[in-house]
Chain A
Amino acid sequence: GNSVTQMEGPVTLSEEAFLTINCTYTATGYPSLFWYVQYPGEGLQLLLKATKADDKGSNKGFEATYRKETTSFHLEKGSVQVSDSAVYFCALIPTSGGSYIPTFGRGTSLIVHP
């Protein structure tokens, strides 16, 4: 079956530090890949996505590149802010098989200190 593995958190950084949250996946075919962010007490918000190999998704300074050779979709940001503190979820949605059920990673909590 499909699976998504994220680095365990929490990740604690100082403001303006560089962020990397690792995500690797196992899936048949060529799934679409997503990063969602969850702020305290809220639902998931789509942060960025990529639908094919070598695609780069980007939004609000965050980036992730779909690497088929390493089955990875690592999230990066050059300079984090306190307001980026949240839980980040990597996810895949299969594009074949007709199921469309996403597989989520377990989430990585990010804490940014001033």
Chain B
Amino acid sequence: GEEVAQTPKHLVRGEGQKAKLYCAPIKGHSYVFWYQQVLKNEFKFLISFQNENVFDETGMPKERFSAKCLPNSPCSLEIQATKLEDSAVYFCASSQIPGQGGEQFFGPGTRLTVL
């Protein structure tokens, strides 16, 4: 598609439950990025993919968070055993050429609320 699609728009989970978020990048874009936006607007990089391969995962919490980008499927971000501090808006972005001049196109985000 011509836009980055994210589902669901809203997700509510009780503490300890699993949460799974999905992202469909723009067709033809090889790179996918996940970000977490918490209060006060700050964006935290989580992980990036080049096609189905992890490109950079320096921002991913080692425990509880995992992500995949499989061929012919939306990318996914999964949080096992959610905690209150995981409440945030999670954004996915895709890019054709991530280097010079290669802007990222953002999806509308998934708002995760952990109760």
Contacts and interface: CB of A to CB of B under 8 A. Distances in A.
Contacts, number: 63
Interface residues of B, number: 28
Given A89-B43, A93-B98, A104-B43, A43 B103 contact: no
A18 interface: no
A34 B43 contact: no
Interface residues of A, number: 23
Contacts of B106: 36, 43-45
B65 interface: no
Interface string B44-55: 010010000001
A93 B91 contact: no
Given A43-B109, A107-B41, A100 B99 contact: yes
Contacts of B98: 93, 100
A42 B108 contact: yes
Nearest to A48: B103
Contact of B102 (A44, A93, A106, A107): A93
**Closest 5 A/B residue pairs (Cβ):** A107-B41, A100-B98, A43-B106, A44-B106, A95-B100
Interface of A: 32, 34, 36, 38, 42-46, 49, 51, 87, 89, 93, 95, 99-102, 104, 106-107, 109
